[in-house]
Amino acid sequence: MKNKLSFFAFPYVVWMALFVVAPILMVVVYAFSSADGGFTFENFTRMGTYAVVFGRSFKLATIATVICVAIGYPVSYMMAKEGLRFQRVAMVLIMLPMWMNFLLRTYSWMTLLENNGLLNQLFQKIGIIALYNSIFGTNLQFFRMINTQGAVVLGMVYNYLPFMILPIYSVIVKLDHSLLEAARDLGANSFHVFQRVILPLSLPGVLSGITMVFVPSVSTFAISTMLGGGTELLLGDLIERQFLGGAYNPQLGAAISLVMMIIVVICMVVMNRFGEGEEQAVML
């Protein structure tokens, strides 16, 4: 019975070989070939000219990830302490925006952040702009928010925050309460309980959250195009331009994609060392 059943996987194994493994091999081959097909390392040396883009991508993705941890951890922690009913509702509320396409979610910020957008109108009404002008001696009519790096980071945080909250929450909520009680019985105060017991035990959730925020942030191109106005190029934009944009150069694009794959592999290795990573990802 068992041996017979294993043949059921055969079509999918062929499918994977064709559409998962072969394309990735193509990326590797392209990354090491020149335009006329010869072997070369040139694509990687040429990446040096884009060091600024690499730096910017890592900087913005890191900032967004840090902000997500800073917001996501306390929120998950507070959520896990509430009653079951509250947890359920809060969970649905956090998941709900994720059901809307991220382009639409990003678009909503496009209109809010505009120079004469609602946020600037609000700032004007409550006098924040006037206050800023009087403190810094400037003469601003509005804050320039759209087409800045800050806007891109905001877009990343807004889109990927749920990816941080969910894994952390699911780890904290499963914590063994007898451990917390034991720590308290042994004389730890709340701070120590948190620092010595809860924090180390919730680390796998934080790590998988970090991966799930960092990887899409560092590889995004739509968010940076929409909120960064095309001036704040990120790695994703760079890749996109090599394939579909004006700067057609699939070899270079493949090389950058290969670097991105290596980043993902590194993230996975780090996560697997702490175990449980896979299960967290599955949950979403």
**Considering only CA atoms, which of 264, 197, 260 is closest in space to residue 57?**
260
Among 67, 175, 264, 270, binds other proteins (CB under 8 A): 264
Per the CB < 8 A criterion, the answer to whether 94 and 166 are in contact is yes
Asked if 257 touches other proteins (CB under 8 A), the answer is yes
| Min dist. Cβ of residue 65 to other proteins (A) | 14
Of 57-65, 171-179, 188-196, 255-263, the segment contacting other proteins by CB under 8 A is 255-263
Question: Within 51-70, which residues bind other proteins (CB under 8 A)?
Answer: none
Q: Which is nearer to other proteins, 181 or 274 (CB)?
A: 274
Residue 108 within binding range of other proteins, rule CB under 8 A: yes
Residue 144 to residues 57, 120, 136, 151, 153, Cα–Cα distance (Å) = 21, 9, 15, 10, 15
Does 38 sit near other proteins (CB under 8 A)? no
Calpha distance 112→115 (Å, rounded): 9
Write out the binding residues for other proteins, residues 110-129 only, by CB under 8 A: 110-112, 114, 116-118, 121
Report the nearest approach of other proteins to the CB of residue 137 (Å): 28
Pair 189, 238: CB distance under 8 Å: no
Residue ranges in 15-34 that form contacts with other proteins under rule CB under 8 A: 15-16, 19-24, 26-27, 30
> How far apart, in whole angstroms, are the C-alpha atoms of residue 242 and residue 256?
10
Phi, psi of 74 (to 5 degrees): -60, -40
| Helix ranges, 190-249 (H) | 190-193, 199-219, 222-228, 235-243
Distance CA 163, CA 150 (A): 20
- How many CA atoms are closer than 13 Å to the CA of 259, on its beta-carbon side? 21
Question: Of the candidates 79, 152, 172, 198, which one interacts with other proteins according to CB under 8 A?
Answer: 79
Among 43, 254, 255, 280, binds other proteins (CB under 8 A): 254
Stretch 123-162 residues interacting with other proteins (CB under 8 A): 158, 161
Binding to other proteins (CB under 8 A) within 189-218 occurs at 215-216, 218
| Binding status of residue 99 toward other proteins by CB under 8 A | yes
Taking contact as CB under 8 A, which single stretch among the options 41-49, 56-64, 96-104, 127-135 is the one that binds other proteins?
96-104
Per-residue DSSP letter, 99: G
Q: Is the CB of 52 or the CB of 92 nearer to other proteins?
A: 92
Query: Smallest distance from the beta carbon of 42 to other proteins, in angstroms?
Result: 18
| Residue in 35, 70, 78, 179 binding other proteins, rule: CB under 8 A | 78
Joined together, the tokens standing for residue 280 give: 């967290």
**10 counts as binding other proteins under rule CB under 8 A:** yes
167 binds other proteins (CB under 8 A): no
Three-class DSSP category at 42? helix
Contact 164, 72 (CB under 8 A): yes
* CB 33 within 8 Å of CB 39: yes
Closest to other proteins by CB, 9 vs 179, is 9
